[in-house]
């Protein structure tokens, strides 16, 4: 099912205290619009330290990847034509938007220091 993904807002880093150095807030406007040919939602629960390969839900490649972990940190490893098993910490969320290089596989691993189950919500989108 085709869809449009829109990410809008502002990323703003504001100094905690006033300084004489002229360290001003740095606003970065966000306005990303992706036309998607397919999308897929998933939710998994990680109960041990073994990698879980995530099903792409019929997508041939992933151009939008959103991962949110609840209950602890997870490690996300992605594979694309840029490289295999590129590791990224997710604590508590990660977002990838890529138009030129799609992700072809990924897995999730619960942090070994965590003993409780970790729930991970996943959104995948394939560009149109």
Task: Please say if the pLDDT value at position 21 is more than 70.
Answer: no
pLDDT of residue 119: 98
Q: Determine the Cα–Cα distance for residues 123 and 110; give it in Å rounded to an integer.
A: 18
- pLDDT category of residue 22 using cuts at 50, 70 and 90: low
Percentage of the chain exceeding pLDDT 70: 95
- Stretch 7-13: mean pLDDT: 92
pLDDT of residue 96: 97
How many H-runs (helices) and E-runs (strands) does the chain carry?
A: 0, 9
DSSP state of 62: B
- Stretch 51-67: mean pLDDT: 97
pLDDT of residue 20: 61
pTM for this one?
A: 0.89
Q: What is the mean pLDDT of the chain?
A: 93
Domain residue ranges in the chain: 37-127
Going by C-beta distance under 8 Å and a sequence separation of 6 or more, which residues neighbour residue 8? 30, 31, 32
May I ask the CATH class of domain 37-127? mainly beta
């Amino acid at each position: 099912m085709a869809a449009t993904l829109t990410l809008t807002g502002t990323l703003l880093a504001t100094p905690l205290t006033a300084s004489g150095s002229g360290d001003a807030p740095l606003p970065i406007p966000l306005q990303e619009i992706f036309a998607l040919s397919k999308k897929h939602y998933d939710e998994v629960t990680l109960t041990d330290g073994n990698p879980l390969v995530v099903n792409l839900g019929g997508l041939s490649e992933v151009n939008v990847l959103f991962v949110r972990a609840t209950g602890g940190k997870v490690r996300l490893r992605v594979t694309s034509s840029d490289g295999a098993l590129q590791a990224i910490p997710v604590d508590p969320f990660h977002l990838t938007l890529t138009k030129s290089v799609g992700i072809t596989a990924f897995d999730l691993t619960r942090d070994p220091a965590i003993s409780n189950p970790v729930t991970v919500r996943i959104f995948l989108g394939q560009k149109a």
